Amino acid sequence: MKLVLATSNKGKLREITELCNEYEVVPYTDLIEAFEIIEDADTFKENALIKARAVYQALDNENVIVLADDSGISVEVLNGAPGVYSARYGGTNATDKDNLYKLIDALKAKGVKSSPAYYTAAIAIVSKNAERTVHGWMHGDVIDEARGEGGFGYDPMFVPAGYKQTVAELSSKIKKNLSHRSQALGLAKKILKTL
Amino acid sequence: MKLVLATSNKGKLREITELCNEYEVVPYTDLIEAFEIIEDADTFKENALIKARAVYQALDNENVIVLADDSGISVEVLNGAPGVYSARYGGTNATDKDNLYKLIDALKAKGVKSSPAYYTAAIAIVSKNAERTVHGWMHGDVIDEARGEGGFGYDPMFVPAGYKQTVAELSSKIKKNLSHRSQALGLAKKILKTL
C-alpha cells in the first residue's frame, strides 16, 4: 500500500519512513509540487487533519492514503508554550536551531534551569473512506542547554522521564521505543490495516 | 514486605492497594495518628517526596518502605491549571465534587465544551537506603459535564484518548490498563524489587 506523507520536514520523513517500513512511504512532494498549507488550528489534531485533507484533495487520486503528523512540545513553566506553535516559535521561517535557542532563552528568562515538558504527536489519516486521528506523547524535562547530535526539533534539550541523556544523545533505537511519534504511529498502523 | 502509604485519600488507597496486591499495603494512619503535611512544592514529584519523607520520619522505623502519590490534572485551555493544585482547586477542604464542578465552570467560562488535558501521577518511594521517584501520565480531554460513577477525582469529566466514555464510565479493569497511577506504580514496583 502506498502511504503519502503530507510533510516535507526531513526529520519527520526519516522517522516515519523508518517506523513504517512495511509500507511504501512517499512524501507528497514526490508526486506534486509543494504548496503552502495554513495550519492555523488550536490543536495538533486539527492541524494534522488540515494537512492530510489538503494533500489528499490536491492529489485527486482515490487510491492513496495520506498521513500527516503535527507535533510539538509543551513546557510547564511556560504554561504550555510553544505547543502548536513549536515549528514556528522562532519566527515564520525558523530553523530547528532558531526554535531551540528561543526556548532555551525563554527558560533562562524564567530563571529556571529545567522544566517538566512533553511532546505531542497527532497523526491524521485521510483516505477515500475514512478520516482518523491518533495521538502519542512523551514526557520529561526541557533543560537550558542543547546536547547531542541525533533526532531533530527540540530533541537536544529534551530529557525523557527516567533518563539522564537528551533525546539527541540517546540512540535512535531508544528514541523509537520512547517517542510520541512512535506511539502515535503504532496506533496509526492498526487503523491502516482496517482501511 | 510492608508498604506504608503516605495518604489518607480513599480513592488512592483503594487503587494502590489493588494494584500492589503482592505487597502488604497499609495506610500510615493505621500506624500513627494522621498529621498535616504541607505540600507546597511546584511539581508533583517534589510534593510526593515531601509526603513520603514526612511519613518515613514520623514512623521512625528503619524497616518500612513508604510510598506516596501526588497526582493531578493539567488542562490545556487553562494553561495547565489546576495542575499541582488539583486536590484543593475548589478550596482548602474541597471535596472531589467541589473540585470537579469548579473545573467544569472554568471550561464554561472559557466558552469551550472540552479541552485536551492530562493526568500526572508522581510516586515517591522512601526507605532506609533510597529515595526514588517515578511518573505516569494519561492523556485525553476534559468535558463540561460529569458522567459515570467509577473512579474518583476528576474521572467523571475525563475522556481518555481513544475512548468515548469518561474514566468514571469505563470499567476499573480498563482504568487499570490506562491510568497514570497504574503506569507509575508499574515502574515503582520495579524499584521496590531492588530495595
SS3 B149: coil
What's the pLDDT tens digit per position in B147-188? 999 999 999 999 999 999 999 999 989 999 999 999 999 999
pLDDT for residue A118 is more than 90: yes
A87: nearest Cα among A77, A98, A76: A98
The CA distance from B67 to A134, in Å, is 34
SS3 B38: coil
Hey, how many other C-beta atoms are within 10 angstroms of the C-beta on B102?
Answer: 14
Backbone conformation region of residue A162, classed left if phi is above 0, alpha if psi is from -120 to 50, else beta: left
B79: contact with A, CB 8 A cutoff: yes
Alpha helices in chain A (DSSP H): 10-19, 44-59, 96-110, 172-178, 180-194
- The pLDDT, as a whole number, for residue B58 is 96
CATH of the domain at B154: 3.90.950.10
A137: contact with B, CB 8 A cutoff: yes
- The pLDDT, as a whole number, for residue A41 is 94
Q: What percent of chain A has pLDDT over 90?
A: 90
CA distance B61 to chain A (A): 29
For A102-107, the CB contacts below 8 A with 24+ separation are A103/A73, A103/A75, A103/A142, A103/A154, A103/A157, A104/A144, A104/A145, A104/A146, A104/A157, A106/A75, A106/A78, A106/A81, A107/A75, A107/A77, A107/A142, A107/A143, A107/A144
Q: Which residues pair with A70 in a beta bridge?
A: A122
Residue of B nearest to A139 (CA): B137
Q: Which amino acid is residue B166, in one-letter code?
A: T
Residues whose CB falls within 8 Å of the CB of residue A25, separated by 6 or more in sequence, listed in order: A3, A5, A16, A17
Alpha helices in B111-179 (DSSP H): 172-178
Whether the CB-CB separation of A180 and A168 falls below 8 Å is answered with no
Whether the CB-CB separation of B68 and B6 falls below 8 Å is answered with yes
Domain interval for residue B36: 2-194
What's the pLDDT tens digit per position in A131-179? 999 999 999 999 999 999 999 999 999 999 999 999 999 999 999 999 9
Q: What are the Cα distances from residue A111, in Å, to A79, A140, A142?
A: 15, 19, 13
What's the pLDDT tens digit per position in A6-43? 998 888 899 999 999 899 999 999 999 999 999 999 99
The catalytically annotated residue of A42, A60, A69, A70 is A70
Tell me whether residues B134 and A162 touch, CB distance under 8 A: yes
Which residue in B43, B79, B116 is closest to A116 by CB distance? B43
A116: contact with B, CB 8 A cutoff: yes
Which residues of chain B fall below pLDDT 70?
Answer: none
- The pLDDT, as a whole number, for residue B195 is 87
Which residue in B83, B137, B161 is closest to A139 by CB distance? B137
B70 belongs to the catalytic site = yes
Tell me whether residues B76 and A80 touch, CB distance under 8 A: yes
Cell of A85: 506553535
Chain A residues in contact with B72 by the CB 8 A cut-off are none
CA distance A84 to chain B (A): 11
What's the pLDDT tens digit per position in A78-111? 999 999 999 999 998 899 999 999 999 999 999 9
Which residue in A43, A79, A187 is closest to B79 by CB distance? A79
Whether the CB-CB separation of A195 and A144 falls below 8 Å is answered with no
Its pTM stands at: 0.91
A80: contact with B, CB 8 A cutoff: yes
- The pLDDT, as a whole number, for residue A141 is 97
Complex ipTM > 0.90: no
Number of domains in chain B: 1
A116: nearest Cα among B158, B55, B175, B133: B133
The CA distance from B53 to A79, in Å, is 29
- The pLDDT, as a whole number, for residue A179 is 95
Chain B residues in contact with A83 by the CB 8 A cut-off are 76
> Beta A24-27 vs A2-5: how paired, if at all?
parallel
Q: What percent of chain A has pLDDT over 70?
A: 100
CA distance A116 to chain B (A): 8
Chain B residues in contact with A137 by the CB 8 A cut-off are 118, 137, 139
Which residue in B80, B135, B139 is closest to A161 by CB distance? B135
A111: contact with B, CB 8 A cutoff: no
